[in-house]
Amino acid sequence: MRRFALVLSITLGLCFLSSCHKVEYGGQKGKILHNKYDPALNINYIMDDVEQTWDTLKIDLDRDGETDLRACFFYDMANIIASKDWEISVAYDGYISEAYGWGREHRVYWGHLSPLCVRHIVDEGYCFGWLDCYSTKGSEGQVDAIRFYLREIAYCTCPNYPLKWGEK
166 to each of 44, 52, 88, 128, how far by Cα in Å? 25, 35, 15, 12
Q: Please check whether residue 163 lies inside any domain of the structure.
A: no
Report pLDDT for 66: 96
Count of domains for the chain: 1
Mean pLDDT, residues 48-53 taken together:
61
Q: Please check whether residue 168 lies inside any domain of the structure.
A: no
Neighbours of 2 (CB within 10 A): 6
Buried b (16+ CB within 10 A) or exposed e, 10-36: eeeeeeeeeeeeebeeeeeebbbbbbe
Q: Please check whether residue 57 lies inside any domain of the structure.
A: yes
In this predicted structure, the answer to whether residue 76 has a pLDDT above a threshold of 90 is no
Q: Please check whether residue 116 lies inside any domain of the structure.
A: yes
In this predicted structure, the answer to whether residue 104 has a pLDDT above a threshold of 80 is yes
Report pLDDT for 91: 83
Q: Please check whether residue 85 lies inside any domain of the structure.
A: yes
Q: Please check whether residue 98 lies inside any domain of the structure.
A: yes
Highest mean pLDDT: which of 23-37, 42-56, 88-102? 23-37
Domain of residue 84: give its range: 20-156
Q: Please check whether residue 14 lies inside any domain of the structure.
A: no
User: What average pLDDT does the structure give for the chain?
Assistant: 83
Ranges 31-35, 78-82, 92-96, 159-163: which has the least confidence: 92-96
4 pLDDT band, cuts 50/70/90, is very low
Contact 54, 46 (CB under 8 A): yes
Report pLDDT for 14: 40
Q: Please check whether residue 128 lies inside any domain of the structure.
A: yes
Mean pLDDT, residues 125-132 taken together:
96
Choose among 15, 42, 18: nearest CA to 151.
42
What is the distance, to the nearest Å, from the Cα of residue 23 to the centroid of all Cα atoms in its chain? 20
